[in-house]
Chain A
Amino acid sequence: MIFDQLERFGDNTAVIDCAEKRWSFIDLVDQSDKIADYMDSRTLMFILSKNHIQVVAAYVGALRKGVVPLLLSADIQIELLNNLVDIYKPQYIWGEKNSVELAGNIIFSNDEYQLLQTEFQPFDIHENLAVLLSTSGTTGSPKLVRQSVKNIESNTTAIINYLKLTPKDRAITTLPLYYTYGLSILQTQLVSGGSIVLTEASIFERKFWDLLIKYEVTNFGGVPYTYEMLKRLRFSRMEIPSLRFITQAGGKLSPDISADFARVCAQKGIAYITMYGASEATARMSYLPADKAEEKAGSIGIAIPGGRFELEDVEGNIVTSFGDNGELVYYGDNVTMGYAVCREDLLKGDENKGILHTGDIAFKDEDGYFYITGRKKRFLKIFGNRVSLDSVEDYLKSKGYLSCACAGVDDKLTVYSEDKIDAKEVCGLLSEYTHIHSSAFSVKFVSEIPRNNAGKILYEKLKDMKL
């Protein structure tokens, strides 16, 4: 497994934690194995995640031991957590002390964190299963992605290769670790012998930049919203000599802003790398090399080493001509085993066989660079989080809002309602449900939600409706 050899980096710095304590690779491995010693191999563990050293240690320890972890936001609503516990029946739960009241025995604890052993007996888990990730880190959806040892190894190796990571590289957290992009930054840094600064500070806080400068950070990642914040902070005027590259993923940044950053970064000697991925592909599927960042702004680039894209038309035929749209299909060893919606699914083998239909519509230019133009599936990316429009509709129905339909664009979800409902209350509810700022939601009133004869909502018409 990817973390089996971490000891070989010895006394090199692996992590600088939130208290600015330095952890060498030996320190990290010691702490990781100490936690893992209390667990049996081939069991299921929930990790209530913050950007804390104890979360990193538990994750590394679980993977070294062959325990399958599911990373969840530590801020998850207790009902949602209980629901996941009921469905998946984990043997262990790792979280901050006194953070949640759950049934079980505390079998290990340190100053900050504790390991809870539940009453659930171990059950059979597929031998290749390594990690579980939530398809939406925020809504506590029980739909999980099953990642194998091979998936993680292949993706980590490919990313290290195209970012040319070395032991000199040091990242700083800008994203949560339960989010596939944030987790991938942690994994690639550690496996390449580099290091990571852990912080819960946002880029709007002085502390973040103080850490970045003090510890000579060489890279960080951001979702489109991060880049809009960087623009407002006038990143162009900042002097950060240690910064070697920055990556952008988690949704499509407007081509204008992308081109701006490409220019600014080129002047500063920072590589600006746009990437594209999904938790269904472990983390990354493509990248736009820095030297093409300005020329090809708006493109997701080319497939990562070892991967390949094809475009498929509605009949499933391969689209070969340049500029023609088709569904983006990815082929590679990082395509995950499939989904799980219940405990029994953890015994399933590889269902995808290395092929992922992304649900994104794209075309290819004459140089072989891919551009995403639309989406087949009903979801939005809001501040980097994937939000399923159908699950939001279902949630609203469960709360008694029966005549609603949801549509919108990235970073802006609109609830269309036939009834006069309290817009502020609905936006507040959705903010609570998704853990996303309420300004991302709005309510519009319509006389009638357009439907076809079968009663299916015509979402395309909904967007064009006069209000």
Chain B
Amino acid sequence: MTNMEKYINAFKESLEIDDSIITDELAFDSIPEWDSVGHMRLMASLEDTFDIMFETEDIMDFSSLGKGKEILKKYNVDL
């Protein structure tokens, strides 16, 4: 699996959502599945998947699927 596939998979599994709504614009609080409980699961899943540990700021700034891609660059994850 490529890193991008792993990234998308983390969204699908931790938020329990389908491919159909996966876009860069998918944002925190825009769907019921991505509320604070979903966010918690998503952060845990990404940390496990890429073996990283997010800084506080990055957990707060992780506001959309697209924004998350930028944040992961900081942790040297090439998507």
Residues of A within 8 A of B (CB): 202-206, 209, 225, 228-229, 232-234, 237-238, 383, 424, 427, 431, 436-440
Judge whether A232 and B59 touch: CB under 8 Å: yes
Judge whether A237 and B56 touch: CB under 8 Å: yes
Judge whether B36 and A203 touch: CB under 8 Å: yes
A–B pairs, 25, beta carbons within 8 Å:
A202-B29, A202-B36, A202-B39, A203-B36, A204-B28, A204-B39, A204-B59, A204-B60, A205-B60, A206-B61, A225-B40, A228-B40, A229-B36, A232-B40, A232-B43, A232-B44, A233-B60, A234-B56, A424-B16, A427-B16, A437-B35, A437-B37, A437-B38, A439-B37, A440-B37
Judge whether A209 and B33 touch: CB under 8 Å: no
- Chain B, interface size category, equals 20 to 34
Judge whether B59 and A233 touch: CB under 8 Å: yes
Residues of B within 8 A of A (CB): 14, 16, 28-29, 32-33, 35-41, 43-44, 55-57, 59-61
Judge whether A439 and B16 touch: CB under 8 Å: yes
A-B pairs with the 5 shortest C-beta distances?
A437-B37, A202-B36, A206-B60, A204-B39, A204-B36
Question: Which residues from chain A contact B61 at a C-beta distance below 8 Å?
Answer: 206
Q: How distant is the Cα of A440 from the Cα of B16 in the complex, in angstroms?
A: 11
**A-B CB pair tally, cutoff 8 Å:** 51
Q: How distant is the Cα of A298 from the Cα of B32 in the complex, in angstroms?
A: 32
Question: Which residues from chain A contact B32 at a C-beta distance below 8 Å?
Answer: 431, 437
Judge whether A225 and B37 touch: CB under 8 Å: yes
Q: How distant is the Cα of A380 from the Cα of B43 in the complex, in angstroms?
A: 25
Least Cβ–Cβ distance between A231 and chain B, in angstroms? 10
Question: Which residues from chain B contact A234 at a C-beta distance below 8 Å?
Answer: 55-56
Judge whether B37 and A383 touch: CB under 8 Å: yes
Q: How distant is the Cα of A439 from the Cα of B60 in the complex, in angstroms?
A: 21
**Contacts A205-B60, A233-B59, A437-B37 given; 11 further ones with Cβ under 8 A?**
A202-B35, A202-B39, A204-B28, A206-B57, A225-B37, A229-B36, A232-B44, A233-B60, A234-B55, A237-B56, A238-B56
Question: Which residues from chain B contact A427 at a C-beta distance below 8 Å?
Answer: 16
Q: Which of B38, B40, B61 has the most CB of A within 10 A?
A: B40
